[in-house]
């Protein structure tokens, strides 16, 4: 309606979809109760308590904002209040997790006999390989996303890739905003006509980077002394993506075709000659980066044996999904539900 479309033609199908969804939810709950899956054990309760706290703290971190005028306790209280105003409390989170809990048990019950054959793994591998060859060669960003977030089993590496790790020494928010402003202004100035202003802005940049580069020099001294780079990451880096397992194990995937990274990062990473080499400090609007050449990435198809376990898990999950949906449909059919559409239509 907001897009100016006449939705009346979709009324019947929307009603059917809504009814099917509501009925399926009731049937799932009834089946779970029949099987005793909604009764939580003491072990379940303890695990749910832990999951509730973890999700609450995760949401709290997203809501927490502090411009420096509040204490940590005040900022936390303010974030909790904001969450509550959006309907997010420990109680609402618990209700969501408990529902997920028994439904996962129901899913396990419905798919307990599902297995994956070697033939199915081979077929999954061949299908993924064909898809990724086409996609990753045409779109390097898609490959880099897959490597970064691990949502897809990668079975093909485009040519020209290497991995790098980094120590990131970041600006605070205010300094980062000012650096971005300066860079934006510099891009708009003429080297000849605006030479004096350019010199002034570059001097300000040098001042803003000075403290970060002092820390970077300390990191490079430690590198020269033979310190392990991963230990330096743990000690000095404040890379927000370091929590990702892929970044911790392999680092970042990059090539000359990459468009994901700052141009200065790409130039520095690709200039490193051998695995184990470390860059000089690299300036970006985020802060100062020190890059470590982690490894060359062999181009081409990844052997099936190297990804068999991951592909088996992928194929199993796909079959579990299909089997669960089929079982739900059967349970709904067996429930022999009577629909009173006219009652619903009167109340719409």
- Token digits of residue 157: 């590496």
Mean pLDDT by 10 residues, the chain (348 residues): 65 82 92 92 93 93 80 90 94 93 93 93 94 95 94 95 97 90 92 92 94 95 96 94 92 94 96 97 95 97 96 91 94 90 71
- Measure the CA–CA gap between 315 and 321, rounded to whole angstroms: 10
| Residue 3: predicted pLDDT | 64
pLDDT of residue 196: 93
CA dist 124 and 130 (Å) reads: 10
| pTM confidence score | 0.74
Residue 117, token pair as written in the block? 């054959």
Alpha-carbon gap, residue 220 to 4, rounded angstroms:
60
pLDDT given for residue 226 in this prediction = 95
CB-based contacts of 209, cutoff 8 Å, min separation 6: 283, 288
In whole angstroms, give the CA distance from residue 188 to residue 95: 54
**Structural contact between residues 132 and 301, judged by C-beta atoms closer than 8 angstroms:** no
Please report, for residues 153, 163, 246, 259, the alpha-carbon distance to residue 136 in angstroms, rounded to integers and kept in the order given: 13, 16, 18, 13
Q: Note the pLDDT of residue 1.
A: 47
**d(C-alpha 13, C-alpha 183), whole Å:** 53
Q: How far apart are CA 158 and CA 297, in angstroms?
A: 9
Give the pair of three-digit tokens for residue 168: 């990131």
Token pair recorded at residue 97: 């997790």
Which regions of 173-308 does DSSP assign to beta strands (E)? 252-254, 282-283, 287-296, 300-301
pLDDT recorded at residue 4:
66
Contact status, residue 116 vs residue 312, Cβ threshold 8 Å:
yes
Whole-number pLDDT of residue 348: 59
């Amino acid at each position: 309606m907001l897009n100016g479309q006449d939705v009346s033609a979709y009324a019947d199908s929307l009603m059917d979809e809504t009814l099917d969804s509501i009925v399926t939810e009731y049937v799932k709950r009834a089946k779970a109760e029949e099987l005793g899956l909604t009764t939580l054990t003491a072990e379940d309760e303890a695990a749910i308590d832990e999951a509730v706290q973890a999700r609450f703290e995760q949401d709290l971190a997203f809501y927490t904002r502090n411009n420096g005028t509040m204490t940590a306790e005040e900022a936390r209280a303010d974030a909790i209040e904001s969450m509550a105003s959006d309907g997010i409390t420990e109680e609402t989170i618990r209700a969501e997790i408990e529902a997920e809990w028994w439904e996962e048990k129901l899913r396990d019950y419905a798919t307990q006999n599902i297995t994956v054959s070697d033939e199915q793994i081979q077929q999954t591998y061949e299908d993924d390989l064909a898809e990724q060859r086409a996609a990753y060669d045409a779109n390097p960003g898609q490959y880099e996303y897959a490597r970064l977030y691990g949502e897809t089993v990668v079975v093909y590496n485009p040519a020209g890739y290497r991995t790098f790790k980094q120590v990131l020494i970041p600006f605070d928010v205010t300094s980062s905003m000012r650096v971005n402003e300066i860079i934006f202004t510099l891009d708009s100035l003429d080297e000849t006509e605006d030479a004096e202003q350019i010199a002034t802005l570059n001097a300000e940049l040098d001042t803003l980077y000075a403290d970060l580069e002092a820390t970077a020099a300390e990191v490079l001294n430690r590198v020269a002394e033979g310190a392990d780079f991963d230990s330096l990451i743990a000690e000095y880096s404040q890379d927000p993506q370091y929590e990702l397992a892929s970044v911790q194990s392999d680092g970042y995937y990059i090539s000359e075709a990459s468009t994901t990274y700052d141009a200065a990062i790409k130039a520095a990473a690709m200039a490193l000659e051998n695995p184990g080499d470390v860059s000089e400090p690299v300036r970006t609007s985020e802060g100062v980066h020190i890059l470590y050449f982690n490894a060359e990435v062999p181009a081409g198809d990844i052997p099936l044996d190297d990804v068999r376990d991951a592909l088996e898990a992928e194929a199993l999950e796909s079959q579990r999904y299909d089997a669960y949906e089929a079982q739900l449909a059967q349970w709904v059919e067996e429930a022999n539900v009577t629909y009173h559409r006219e009652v619903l239509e009167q109340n719409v």
